[in-house]
Amino acid sequence: MITIKEAVTKKEMTEFVKFPFSLYKDNKYWVPPIIADELESFDRTKNPAFESAEAYFYLAYKNNEIVGRIAAIINWGEVNDQHKKKVRFGWFDVIDDIEVTKALLEKVYELGRKNNLEHVEGPMGFSNLDKVGVLTEGFDELGTMITWYNHPYFATHLEQLGFVKEKEYIESIFPFSNVKPEFFLKAQALIKKRYELTSLNFTKTKDIMPYVDKMFDLFNNSYADLSSFVAITDVQKEYFKKKYISFINPEYIKFVMDKNNDIVAFSIVMPSFSEALQKAKGKLFPFGFYHLLKARKESKDVVFYLIGVHPEYQNKGVTAIIFDEYFKTFSEKGIINCIRTPELEENHAIHNLWKNFDPRVHCRRKTFMKML
């Protein structure tokens, strides 16, 4: 018999967070989160996403053993401002038993129907900066700290339960040796001169902080036309600023400025923390923090996390300036591989940025939807 229980207490939420550690035990491609960090993101008093969203967390039990988990989410900004009557599900992990999947999803349907919503989509988080999608290709590729891993049967379960593909995302990788400066070196100089632009680099995190709010404003502006986009609020900006910016190498954040010292393009790259997180096994202490700090300083793989260009400067080659700056930084640090995080398959503009680097698509993932 399958029993579904809402996780409410600290103990239950900890079990919710820890379930994947048993599901993917000994899987060399799964990248575990930091347990304390994950718990904080589910804390309604700490995560500002809850100002415009509500979420409920469920555990599935079979023979008194946890066999699955799911979060049922409503992003009210999406529902009220974009008029998308959607209930989301995320943090979806389950054993290979479709009845367990079915029982968990029923809790998502209940939330949607209770609020007169029309369809369900997932897996996805609270916002666009959360993880997204069921992995459908690349099960033997090492994940990243900002993607979910899952077994191949996840997508099969959803399809058998009447879900259809809503969006598809691709992830790719290319060796830094593929990057030839002749593709952007001359162009970036011409573009700087033509549009009176300058590049802005950093060596200290404190020097980045005065620009972060404007960077998130540009992020909202850059991605506003994408069908799945929900803008980041001012409160969320503060949260992300405190939680993530200090964690990123300052030299991996690049800005392009106009003559008025306004940001017209930005990019955030992170060192790969995948192997460090595997060694940490969900805990910062006693040794997890050491592994993460070591990766921050020494990782030879980098992950392109975000890149944004002001609409007025899109299709004007501004990214050549960013690539030129990264080429200098990566050459100095001896970077070996460049990894791209999930990008919508329909976002052809972003894919065209990388074509000269001959990237290899190594993972695909999808969100699935179903009418209620």
The rounded distance, in Å, linking the Cα atoms of 299 and 307 is 21
Beta-carbon-side half-sphere exposure of residue 195 (alpha carbons within 13 Å): 24
pLDDT at 80: 92
Q: What angle do CA 270, 275, 278 make, to 5 degrees?
A: 120
| Per-residue pLDDT tens digits for 119-137 | 999 999 998 779 999 999 9
Q: Confidence band (pLDDT; 50, 70, 90) for 225?
A: confident
* Short-list 16, 145, 30, CA closest to 90: 16
Averaged pLDDT for residues 317-321: 94
Q: Can you give the pLDDT at residue 75? A: 94
Residues composing the chain: 372
Pairing of strands 164-175, 337-344: antiparallel
Mean pLDDT score across all residues of the chain: 94
Percent of the chain beyond pLDDT 90? 85
pTM of the model: 0.94
Q: Which of 60-64, 150-154, 329-333, 346-350 has the lowest mean pLDDT?
A: 346-350
CA separation for the pair 85, 78 (Å, rounded): 8
Characterize the bridge pairing of strands 65-75 and 263-271. Answer: unpaired
Confidence band, pLDDT 50/70/90 cuts, at residue 166: very high
Indicate whether 228 pLDDT > 70: no
Let me know: does 115 contact 74? Beta carbons within 8 Å: yes
User: Using 50, 70 and 90 to split pLDDT, how confident is the model at 347?
Assistant: confident
125 and 73 Cβ atoms separated by less than 8 Å:
yes
3-state secondary structure of 217: helix
Contact 16, 8 (CB under 8 A): no
H or E segment at 36? helix 35-41
Share of the chain above pLDDT 70, in %: 99
For the segment 174-202, what is each residue's pLDDT rounded down to a tens digit? 999 999 999 899 999 999 999 999 999 99
Report the distance separating Cα 342 and Cα 61, nearest Å.
Answer: 32
- Give the mean pLDDT of 19-48: 96
Q: What is the pLDDT of residues 239-293, one digit of tens each?
A: 888 888 888 999 999 999 999 999 999 999 999 999 999 999 999 999 999 999 9
Does the CA dihedral 231-237-240-246 come out positive or negative? Answer: positive
Confidence of residue 224 (pLDDT cuts 50, 70, 90): confident
CA distance 353 to 326: 14
Predicted local confidence at residue 233, as pLDDT: 86
Instruction: For residue 186, give every residue at least 6 positions away whose Cβ sits within 8 Å of its Cβ, in sequence order, or none.
Output: none
N-term to C-term CA, the chain: 25
